[in-house]
Amino acid sequence: MTDQKAYWDAAYTTKGDNVSWYQSGPSRSLEMICAAATLHDVGIIDIGAGASRLADELLIRKFSDLTLLDVSEVALATTRSRLGEASGKITWIAADITEWKPSRKYEIWHDRAVFHFLTNSTVQDAYIEALKLATEPGATIILSTFALKGPEKCSGLPVQRYSAETLAARLGPDFAMYAKSVEQHPTPFGTTQEFIYAGFKRR
Ligand SMILES: C[S@@+](CC[C@H](N)C(=O)[O-])C[C@H]1O[C@@H](n2cnc3c(N)ncnc32)[C@H](O)[C@@H]1O
């Protein structure tokens, strides 16, 4: 965990919100989570939550069982401080997803721009193992990565790019894709990055 933690802590310490993946409103993620959530108390986990405003928006919409996981404690502290008192409603986990052992199940697993950093099959398998341990059949998995035409690097690190279909193939037969879309993400630097979003149901 040390290398990843140091890298990402430094990124958040030096850049704050001035990062390519910044979104003032995570609208596509929110739309997909709200469409999948049958009740306000469903367990939702955001993997590699960073300093995303997704948690703020989910709290506004009265979701009551939110967990944010990130390898960077600086990122989590940023979100915690922004949320103030409301941060007490959230479960915080500082962990590397490829080493994390979940202790409960979640109905909704969300990940924007984290899985694509895992560029070898060993760490991808470890992520998928955590995903399987943290979900049960019927759970919703919402993943967003750089598209095949997206950038080759994110935050200076190489990424594995996907189409919805290649992502589905990598996750394997335990996950049935029910939704897919492409998003042109406008970065704070005036450029555009192509992302894919895919929704899966755990079989
Ligand atoms: C590109 S940022 C995306 C942040 C957030 N999901 C968003 O959409 O704004 C990637 C995030 O994943 C976290 N991260 C990277 N590798 C990780 C790992 N192995 N385990 C957990 N978090 C990780 C980073 O700290 C960072 O917050």
Angle at which helices 121-133 and 164-171 cross, to 10°: 70
Cα–ligand 1 centroid distance for 97 (angstroms): 9
Task: Return the closest-CA partner of residue 47 out of 93, 90, 7, 89.
Answer: 93
**Residues 161 and 147: beta-carbon distance below 8 Å:** yes
**Residues 83 and 54: beta-carbon distance below 8 Å:** no
Task: Return the closest-CA partner of residue 46 out of 4, 99, 95, 5.
Answer: 95
pLDDT, residue 130, reads 98
Domain ranges of the chain: 2-202
Cβ contacts of residue 38 below 8 Å, gap of 6+?
none
Choose one of 17, 23, 52, 70 to mutate for the ligand 1 pocket test, by most ligand atoms within 8 angstroms of C-beta: 70
User: How far apart are alpha carbons 143 and 199 in whole angstroms?
Assistant: 7
Cβ contacts of residue 169 below 8 Å, gap of 6+?
none
Which tokens sit at 162?
């996907």
Q: What is the DSSP letter of 58?
A: H
**Residues 95 and 71: beta-carbon distance below 8 Å:** yes
Strand partners, 183: 195
Q: Locate tokens 């915080």: which residue? A: 92
CATH code linked to domain 2-202: 3.40.50.150
Choose one of 71, 73, 92, 111 to mutate for the ligand 1 pocket test, by most ligand atoms within 8 angstroms of C-beta: 71
DSSP E strands in 48-187: the ranges are: 65-70, 90-94, 108-112, 140-146, 153-154, 157-158, 175-186
Pairing of strands 43-47, 108-112: parallel
Q: Does the beta carbon of 107 sit less than 6 angstroms from any atom of ligand 1?
A: no
Averaged pLDDT, groups of 10, the chain, 203 residues long: 86 93 96 96 98 98 98 98 98 98 98 98 98 98 98 94 98 98 96 98 98
Ligand 1, atom nearest to 22 Cα: 9
Cβ atoms within 10 Å, residue 166: 15
Pairing of strands 192-202, 175-186: antiparallel
